[in-house]
Amino acid sequence: MAASNERIREVIDEYVRLVATGTADEIVALYADGATVEDPVGSDVLTTAEEIRAFYGGLEGLDTETRLVTARIAGGQAAFHFELVTKAGDATYTVTPIDVMAFDDDGKITSMRAFWSGDDMVIS
């Protein structure tokens, strides 16, 4: 049976929280075996846990805050809009992607595709 909307919402909340404050290992633990990551959409699809861990490892140590803007869940899948605000020196970089995720029956993420581009980044 597909993961419930409630379970999927929990995983999204956890994902958004961990992107700001978690380790790459904690984020990878949200993913199912064999999961794929395409971030941003149009880039090479990451297909191994090692690649996914390396991808999120790039976020570790950054001074980042995140906030879920809105989530829509349907058919065991989800699309959600969230905000990442990263401070580096005197600059603040804000991106607000729309991520699309599929989940297995346990609520593990089986695919993630992030819609955003450098044009969407706001630097202040």
What residues make contact with its own copies under the rule CB under 8 A?
Answer: 5, 40-43, 70, 72-81, 96-98, 100, 114-117, 119-120
Residue 15 catalytic?
A: yes
Q: Which is nearer to its own copies, 49 or 114 (CB)?
A: 114
Place of tokens 């790039």: 58
Q: Is 46 helix (H, G, I), strand (E, B) or coil?
A: strand
CA distance 96 to 99: 9
Q: Which is nearer to its own copies, 49 or 95 (CB)?
A: 95
Q: Which of 15, 31, 56, 99 is catalytic?
A: 15
Instruction: Give the count of beta carbons closer than 10 Å to the beta carbon of residue 38.
Output: 17
In the bound complex, what is the minimum distance in angstroms from residue 61's beta carbon to its own copies? 26
Q: Which of 13, 25, 33, 39 is catalytic?
A: 39
Q: Which is nearer to its own copies, 52 or 102 (CB)?
A: 102
CA distances from 93 to 14, 79, 81, 86 (A): 22, 23, 17, 5
In the bound complex, what is the minimum distance in angstroms from residue 71's beta carbon to its own copies? 8
The first and second tokens of residue 34, run together, are: 């064999």
Residue 56 catalytic?
A: no
Tell which residue, 112, 104, 114, has the closest CA to residue 4. 104
Task: Report, as residue numbers or ranges, the catalytic residues.
Answer: 15, 39
